[in-house]
Amino acid sequence: MDEPPLAEVGPGAEPERVKILLVDDNPDNLLALEAVLQRPDYELVRATSGEEALKRVLHDEFALILLDVAMPILDGFQTAALIRQRRKARRIPIIFVSAMMQEVAHVFEGYEVGAVDYLLKPFDSHALSAKVKVFVERYRQGRELERQERALRRLERRERLQLESLYDVTFEEAPVGIGHASVTGRWMRVNQRLLDIAGRPREEILRLTLPEIVVTQDRGSILEDIHAILSGQAQKRHGEYRFLRADGSTVWTALTLSLLRDRDRKPVQLTIVEDITEEKRLAASLEAAEARFARLSESGLIGIVYERADGVVLDANEAFLSMIGRSRDELEAGQIHMRELTPPEYDEADGHARAELRDHGIARPYEKELVRADGGRTAVLVGCAAFAPPDQGVIGFAVDVTDRKHIEQERARVVRELRDAVRARDDFLSLAAHELRTPLTPLVMQISNLLSLAREHKVPSDADWLVKQVEPIDRALNRLRRLVGTLLDASRAVGELRLERVELDLANLVREIVERTRGDMERAGCDVTVRTESVVGRWDRTHLEQLVGNLLSNAMKYGARKPIEVDVEQDAGLARLSVRDHGIGIAPEDQQRIFERFERLVPVRHYGGLGVGLWIVRQIVLAHGGRTWVESTPGEGARFVVELPR
């Protein structure tokens, strides 16, 4: 610091000594002046001629010159004129001292007012010192002002320097790349960050232009931007460009171009560069993630729903909307609430899910139903995850499991049926064993009886006796044969029936069978009435015999020893056979299932049977393209009807 700071030059400080030049060829006059002006803060310098005065002025700085007008060689005016020619002394005020009024009268014409004055000899010492004091004061003020100005300028310079160095540091340290280029595009100054982004050393960058450091594909548009700002079309241009680095890699940058002017008003191209590679990468991966999610959302494979913390559905994909049968307009109007979509019986499951969401942020998948707008329901598998913080709502998925539910139900039905079938078969086996044993017992007894008689040679030779002995054997064997036949039929799969059609009259066939079973009828206590009209058709004789036999034996078995009516009639193109009894009858809800295999309504203790008779009847009727049914009131008997196309 070569000069004192401003604050030290203020009121209270010692006044500065100022120099006053006294010019007079007469030493007495000089002495007189000195006597009057003698003061500690004045330094009085004397000159005895104009020439000397000029010399003094060259060497020293004076606050004031007192100049005698009447001097030899150079008089006062000439001296003053010469002093005025010197740049340094031009502004020094001059007081001309003269004995004659006329001499000084025109003084003011040639000089600036304020810079010059005059004094008449003999002078009044008070007036002189007062005058001098005024000038000295003025000089001091001027000096003071100058000093202040100088100090200010110094301060300004210091601040500017500080600012400049601050700017330099900022420029260098800036987290964005900054570069100045001339209008020709040549880089003049670039900061470290720009070098880092461009991936090139400073000396290389300074040999290149901006378009030369971007990838070829981007060159055209950056040239356009540069042209726009240089031509004044735009104040600023912003764009995204790829820099080609020395190692061949590229970086995405956000670039701002503008035009500045330097101190000399020369245009400078300002380039500000930010590395946005990471943002680009993030944006791209975000976009890809969004696209993947969108694909899933649009695929219709799963419903996706976004609900607010209070349960209002804010967004949902089409798949979800179709599961609940609601429109996008309703969704956008905020009219869909999760609560309304849940049937009350799932409140508990939903409660569990909410607790899980609260505690773990997710609710594991569970099955429920969604209520559709039309009141129907969609079976779904749902799961959801809460956003953090929880007031950000919940995102959930729903998979329509209606089909799977159907399959499950179907599977359960099949399992149930299979289980029933297995049980029925077990029942059937024990029934079959029971049934087979029934005729076997008298058969064995009768045969062993005959055998022991034969061994003892007690067998009478008359035929009547023999017939009597063999008849029960024959009946038992016949019954066994029928049973075995039925067993065989029962074991056959549906549809395996083969028909051998022959032309026959159903009326004749029915009468024959009734005749054949009349003995059994009588034993069962049933009186049979047959009403027939001849109906000829092409049917399988053996199977029809079996059919009629089964219906008659049921009528006997369940007919409660009451009369049986058998009718055969013709109706349009078909034959109708009906067998009517007045026995226990069949409840309406059972009238269908008795035609199924192994279906029985009665306990085996009271009524023997394998539960396949009516099933066989139906198989035979179906094979002939006909139909069969039962009409009955429980307790009042049953009428079995068979219709066969002819």
| Shortest distance, position 526 Cβ to ligand ADP, whole Å | 11
For residues 193 and 175, what is the distance between their CA atoms, to the nearest angstrom?
6
By CB under 6 A, tell whether 611 contacts ligand ADP.
yes
Residues in the chain: 646
Q: Which residues of 552-588 are buried (b: 16+ CB within 10 A; e: fewer)?
A: bbbbbbbbeeeebbbbbebeeebbbbbbbbbbbbbee
Between 424 and 584, name the residue whose CB sits nearer to ligand ADP: 584
Q: Which two tokens stand for residue 51?
A: 């020439």
Between 281 and 561, name the residue whose CB sits nearer to ligand ADP: 561
Q: Which two tokens stand for residue 293?
A: 């999610």
By CB under 6 A, tell whether 439 contacts ligand ADP.
no
In degrees rounded to 5, what are phi and psi of residue 376? -70, 180
For residues 37 and 135, what is the distance between their CA atoms, to the nearest angstrom?
13
Residue 108: Cβ within 10 Å count: 12
Residue 138's closest CA among 103, 165, 114, 104? 114
Answer for which of 187, 198, 615, 618 binds ligand ADP (CB under 6 A) is 615
Q: Which two tokens stand for residue 33?
A: 């002046």
Q: Which two tokens stand for residue 320?
A: 């979800």
Between 473 and 602, name the residue whose CB sits nearer to ligand ADP: 602
By CB under 6 A, tell whether 119 contacts ligand ADP.
no
By CB under 6 A, tell whether 6 contacts ligand ADP.
no
Residues 6+ apart with CB under 8 A from 625: 644, 645
Between 466 and 601, name the residue whose CB sits nearer to ligand ADP: 601
By CB under 6 A, tell whether 610 contacts ligand ADP.
yes
Q: Which two tokens stand for residue 448?
A: 């062993």
**Residue indicated by tokens 């981007």:** 218
By CB under 6 A, tell whether 397 contacts ligand ADP.
no
Between 393 and 583, name the residue whose CB sits nearer to ligand ADP: 583
Total number of residues that touch ligand ADP (CB under 6 A): 21
For residues 143 and 78, what is the distance between their CA atoms, to the nearest angstrom?
27
| Shortest distance, position 585 Cβ to ligand ADP, whole Å | 6
By CB under 6 A, tell whether 307 contacts ligand ADP.
no
Q: Tell me if 483 sits within 8 A of 436, measured CB to CB.
A: yes
| Shortest distance, position 554 Cβ to ligand ADP, whole Å | 4
By CB under 6 A, tell whether 483 contacts ligand ADP.
no
| Shortest distance, position 342 Cβ to ligand ADP, whole Å | 48
Answer for which of 214, 319, 528, 612 binds ligand ADP (CB under 6 A) is 612
Is the alpha carbon torsion for 103, 105, 108, 114 positive or negative?
positive
Answer for which of 50, 76, 199, 613 binds ligand ADP (CB under 6 A) is 613
By CB under 6 A, tell whether 128 contacts ligand ADP.
no
By CB under 6 A, tell whether 586 contacts ligand ADP.
yes
Chain residue at closest Cβ approach to ligand ADP: 609
By CB under 6 A, tell whether 432 contacts ligand ADP.
no
Amino acid at 491: S
Restricting to residues 546-585, name those near ligand ADP by CB under 6 A. Answer: 554-555, 558, 581, 583-585
Strands lying side by side in the sheet with 528-532: 528-532, 564-571, 574-580, 638-645, 627-632
Between 397 and 640, name the residue whose CB sits nearer to ligand ADP: 640
Quick one: which segment of 315-323, 331-339, 347-355, 610-618 binds ligand ADP (CB under 6 A)? 610-618
By CB under 6 A, tell whether 349 contacts ligand ADP.
no
Q: Summarize as ranges the residues that interact with ligand ADP (CB under 6 A).
A: 554-555, 558, 581, 583-586, 594, 599-602, 609-615, 638
